[in-house]
Chain A
Amino acid sequence: QVQLVQSGAEVKKPGASVKVSCKASGYTFTDYYIHWVRQAPGQGLEWMGWSNPNSGGTNYAQKFQGRVTMTRDTSISTAFMELSRLTSDDTAVYYCARAIILRTNTLADYWGQGTLVIVSS
């Protein structure tokens, strides 16, 4: 069965960076994109971007450009999301999601369990 298992919770200081991992199993890792979505406490879902595990290509939401980097290691079927220059506004649960590749877009179907990132001095 499809599973996305994310790394554990992190506590970071303002100005630091955080790197979250997302290990995929139960499907061919390079046949699907990986989306990253975050959710601040008590708030809605915010799309951050996607990575293409096959090519390494990425696309980031404008809000995060220059601060986010999405990578992958196909040898271990794992995607990574690194967010730099953290502020308290980045405190959130970060989700990865597998995305079906369609002709003109992609659709997130299976999600990881989420990784809580707390930014606090």
Chain B
Amino acid sequence: IQMTQSPSTLSASVGERVTITCRASQSISSWLAWYQQKPGKAPKLLIYKASSLQSGVPSRFSGSGSGTEFTLTISSLQPDDFATYYCQQYNSYSEYTFGQGTKLEIK
């Protein structure tokens, strides 16, 4: 299963609402996770099962979608949100695929 994220880079300002899209090459039901990664750090789980917020993650993060198309939305960007975001499908025990990543930059 191939995962394609868009855009690859996104420039936005503090307070803006942003959306990142992830498309799967075949249906993965709702088995999609979103991770945030900052430079030199490990990824952090934000969203699982397409729309469930991981404990401790701010409510400005939300996820939606099912089947092959998914989105991650940040409702009002904060300075701490500038990072790279990855989607990952976990549709089965045997294969896990990440998207290529979306770098969120300060405009």
**Residues of A with C-beta under 8 A to B45:** 107-110
Report the interface size for chain A: residues with CB under 8 A from the other chain.
21
Docked CA distance A110–B42 (Å): 9
For A96, the closest partner residue in chain B by CB is: B42
A-B contact count (CB 8 A): 53
Q: Which of A13-21, A24-32, A42-50, A70-78 is the contact stretch?
A: A42-50
Q: Provide the residues of chain B in CB contact with A61, threshold 8 Å.
A: 95
Selected interface stretch from B13-21, B69-77, B85-93:
B85-93
**Of A44, A110, A111, A114, the contact of B100 (CB 8 Å cutoff):** A44
B93: which of A105, A108, A110 is its contact (CB, 8 Å)?
Answer: A105
Partner pick for A44 among B31, B90, B92, B98, CB 8 A cutoff: B98
Range, interface on chain B: 20 to 34
Shortest Cβ distance from B31 into A: residue: A105
Among B45, B90, B97, the most chain A Cβ lie within 10 Å of the Cβ of B90
Residue A59 lies at the interface, judged by CB distance under 8 Å to chain B: yes
B90 touches A105 (CB 8 A): yes
Which B residues touch A105, using CB under 8 A? 31, 90-93
Beta-carbon contact of B94 and A109 below 8 Å: no
Neighbouring B residues of A46 by C-beta, 8 Å: 98
Mark A98-121 against chain B: 1 for CB-CB distance below 8 A, else 0: 000000111111111110000000
- Do A111 and B93 touch (CB < 8 A)? no
Contact of A47 with B42 in the complex, beta carbons under 8 Å: no
Q: Say yes or no for A95: interface residue by CB 8 A criterion.
A: yes
Minimal Cβ-Cβ distance residue in A for B89: A105
Cα–Cα, bound, A110→B94 (Å): 20
B54 CB within 8 Å of chain A: yes
**Interface of B toward A, CB cutoff 8 Å:** 31, 33, 35, 37, 42-45, 48, 54, 86, 88, 90-101
Q: Can you sample 12 A-B contacts with CB below 8 Å?
A: A45-B88, A45-B98, A45-B101, A47-B97, A61-B95, A97-B43, A104-B93, A105-B31, A106-B90, A107-B33, A109-B45, A112-B42
